[in-house]
Amino acid sequence: MNTGTHAKPTARRTRLSPETRRELILDHASRIISEDGVATISIERIGREAGISKSLVYKYFANLNEVLVQLLTRELRAMRLAQEKVVKNAENFEELVRSMTTVYLRFAQERGQIIERLEAEPSVKNNATPNSTSRDKLIHFFARTATKIFDMPPDTASAKAAIAYGMPASAGQFMLETGANLEDMASLTTEMIMSVYRSSDIGNGTGKQKSE
């Protein structure tokens, strides 16, 4: 006999790809750290807030430290990819410095807190990539570029590139602590970095930019 009633269809759980599931787990870990810090995070809490069992979290990550390492790696890679894009579009050295600095400061403004909290954990910072190798590559890139553009020996260019490398990080820290305007900080930091490359008091370089 037909009563005219219909059973509600059972909702199907969406099956996510392994890559998507990993990213979602990292997203939840990121939110927890942003809101409450690294000390409050656990595999159990990630699973609970992601709506999955902790055993499923362990399916993708061996332990909590691996979650944190992969999260920091994701943040740093995103910044490096953004910087690589501006390198290709820069028309001169100063524009390159300004674009790279702006990208760094934007990430510091948007993601600086979580990166800082993750890098405060030695076991996380030392195992994340990009790591010191990426730092060395970036310094080498600027040193090589400066050698071609400015009249200075390679050793001098390397020293100046290493000094200039730390300036955006200091600017980013100041910006986070004081709420300084991003564009103002980018301009000031670019000016300071360019003054390092243009200075002639180190080595035998003149610091004079060659005509382009």
d(CA 162, CA 204): 18
Position 208 scores a pLDDT of 54
Long-range contacts formed by 154-160: CB under 8 A, 24+ apart:
155/203, 156/202, 156/203, 156/204, 156/205, 157/205, 159/202, 159/203, 160/196, 160/197, 160/199, 160/202
pLDDT of 84: 83
pLDDT at residue 11, rounded to an integer: 46
Give the C-alpha separation, 24 to 59, whole Å: 14
What is the chain's pLDDT, residue by residue, as a tens digit (212 residues)?
455 555 555 445 567 898 999 999 999 999 999 999 999 999 999 999 999 999 999 999 999 999 999 999 999 989 888 888 888 888 899 999 999 999 999 999 999 899 999 999 999 998 988 665 678 888 999 999 999 999 899 999 999 999 999 999 999 999 989 999 999 999 999 999 999 999 865 444 445 555 44
Instruction: Determine what percent of the chain is predicted with pLDDT higher than 70.
Output: 85
What was the pLDDT predicted at 36?
A: 95
Backbone φ, ψ for residue 123 (5° rounding): -65, -20
pTM of the model: 0.77
For 81-138, write each residue's pLDDT tens digit.
Answer: 888 888 888 889 999 999 999 999 999 999 989 999 999 999 999 898 866 567 888 8
